[in-house]
Structure 1
Amino acid sequence: MTLLISGKMTNQLLEFKEIIRSRQSSEQRKTDKQTRKLLLYLFTSTRGGFTRLRIIIHLLDQGYNTHQLAQKLELDYKAVQHHMKVLEKNNMVSKIGEKYGAIFYLSNFLEINIGALDEAIDKLDRKMNKTKIYM
């Protein structure tokens, strides 16, 4: 069962990587060290990194409110609400409106640094496929 879930997640990560690469501009600037560290932390060093990455991928083309994201991702509303707060606090998303009807979009900061997610996806893939051997 774990292998099946891990394989599905790996396939999704490959899809995400292709989507991110297609969004990069030809004149992509180098991401600064602090931004790189922030993106790696948010998407690879915390338990919700994969879910936050899924949220970002959905927000690439259009904005959604929390309820719509919860439905699209098939997740609990409160879980999505938590991830949106984390993403907003770290300037990954911007919102228009208040409370239930607030629509979230990618922030300008993340749009400019979208190419740096490529590295985060690679690290997350390696982390998810690492086999633990106990001796």
Structure 2
Amino acid sequence: MEKALWYLLVGTRGGKNRVRIIRSIDERPRNANQLAEAIDVDYNTVRHHLEMLVEHNVLEKGGEGYGAMYFLTDQFEHNRETFENVTEHMEET
């Protein structure tokens, strides 16, 4: 998970938006449209980031279609400290 977080948040464009998505879902589960509104990012951009976060087991999708909700995975929860360390590093650079 540590390598995936470094890649997703620091190694690629869009890391800051992915952090915003993770923090928003940490507040409460949301669907893609709710996330787009919450972080003020285009819906299609949010969908792209969600796909990346699901692919790397940071988020899991509950349900199908437009209303599918996104949740933090147990694996992410076990690595929350790593997430905080990576985001601290992002703020320093």
TM-score range, shorter chain: over 0.9
**Alignment partner of 1:126 is 2:92:** yes
Deviation of 1:84 after TM superposition, in Å, equals: 0.3
Match of 1:90 among 56, 59, 62: 56
Match of 1:99 among 54, 57, 65: 65
When the two structures are aligned, how many residues end up with a matched partner?
93
Residue matched to 2:32: 66
CA separation in 2, counterparts of 1:61 and 1:126?
Answer: 24
Match of 2:79 among 94, 105, 113: 113
Residue matched to 2:18: 52
CA separation in 2, counterparts of 1:69 and 1:81?
Answer: 9
Residue matched to 2:47: 81
CA separation in 1, counterparts of 2:38 and 2:27?
Answer: 14
The RMSD of aligned alpha carbons is: 0.9
User: Any gaps of 5 or more consecutive residues in structure 2?
Assistant: none
CA separation in 1, counterparts of 2:61 and 2:4?
Answer: 20
Partner SS state of residue 100, structure 1 = coil
User: Any gaps of 5 or more consecutive residues in structure 1?
Assistant: 1-34, 128-135
Deviation of 1:126 after TM superposition, in Å, equals: 2.3
CA separation in 1, counterparts of 2:56 and 2:4?
Answer: 8
Identity among equivalent pairs (%): 34
| 4+ aligned runs moved over 6 Å, structure 1 | none
**Which one has a larger percent strand, Structure 1 or Structure 2?**
2
**The structure with more radius of gyration:** 1
Instruction: Give me the TM-score of the superposition, normalised by structure 1.
Output: 0.66
Instruction: Give me the TM-score of the superposition, normalised by structure 2.
Output: 0.94
CA separation in 1, counterparts of 2:6 and 2:89?
Answer: 8
